[in-house]
Amino acid sequence: MRIAFLGLGIMGHAMATNLVKAGHEVATWNRSPGKIVEGTRAAASPADAAQGAEVVWLCVADTAAVENVLFGPDGVEQSLTEGMIISDSSTISPTATRKFAERVAQKGVQYVDSPMTGSKAGAEAGTLLFIIGGDEQAIEKLMGKKIFRMGETGKGQSAKLVMNLQIALIYEGFAEALTLAAKLGLDAENLVQLINASMVKSGVIEYKAPFVLRRDFSPNFPLRLMRKDIRLALEAAKEARVKLPGLETVEEVYDVAVEEGHADLDYAATLQLLEKWAGVEVKGEAA
Task: Return the residues of window 69-88 that contact ligand NAP according to CB under 6 A.
Answer: 69
Q: Which of the ranges 139-147, 178-186, 222-230, 251-259 carries the binding residues for ligand NAP, by CB under 6 A?
A: 222-230
Give the one residue of 79, 220, 270, 272 binding ligand NAP; rule: CB under 6 A: 220
Q: Which of the ranges 3-11, 105-113, 196-204, 273-281 carries the binding residues for ligand NAP, by CB under 6 A?
A: 3-11
Going by their DSSP bridges, the two strands 2-6 and 41-42 should be labelled as: unpaired
Task: Return the residues of window 160-179 that contact ligand NAP according to CB under 6 A.
Answer: none
Beta bridge partners of 116: 130
Angle between the N-to-C axes of helices 270-278 and 245-259, in degrees from 0 to 180, rounded to the nearest 10: 90
Residue nearest to ligand NAP (CB): 9
- 135: nearest Cα among 149, 119, 118, 115: 149
Contact 282, 179 (CB under 8 A): yes
Q: Does 104 bind ligand NAP (CB under 6 A)?
A: no
Contact 248, 201 (CB under 8 A): no
User: 68: which DSSP letter?
Assistant: H
Nearest residue (CB) to ligand NAP, 10 versus 42:
10
Mask 116-135, x = binds ligand NAP (CB under 6 A)? xx-xx---------------
Q: Which of the ranges 37-45, 64-72, 206-214, 274-282 carries the binding residues for ligand NAP, by CB under 6 A?
A: 64-72
**What is the size of the binding site for ligand NAP (CB under 6 A)?**
28
Q: Does 9 bind ligand NAP (CB under 6 A)?
A: yes
| Beta carbons within 10 angstroms of residue 114's beta carbon | 27
- 226 exposed, middle or buried (CB, 10 Å; 0-12, 13-18, 19+)? buried
Report the distance separating Cα 27 and Cα 134, nearest Å.
Answer: 24
Give the one residue of 4, 11, 168, 271 binding ligand NAP; rule: CB under 6 A: 11
Kindly state the smallest distance separating residue 171's Cβ from ligand NAP, in Å.
12
Task: Return the residues of window 18-47 that contact ligand NAP according to CB under 6 A.
Answer: 30-32, 35
User: 76: which DSSP letter?
Assistant: G
Mask 240-279, x = binds ligand NAP (CB under 6 A)? ----------------------------------------
The sign one gets for the Cα dihedral 102, 103, 108, 110 is negative
Report the distance separating Cα 258 and Cα 255, nearest Å.
Answer: 5
Q: Measured at the alpha carbon of residue 156, what is the angle toward residues 11 and 209, in degrees to the nearest 5? A: 50
> Under the rule (CB under 6 A), what is the footprint of ligand NAP?
7-12, 30-32, 35, 59-61, 64-65, 68-69, 90-91, 116-117, 119-120, 220-222, 225, 229
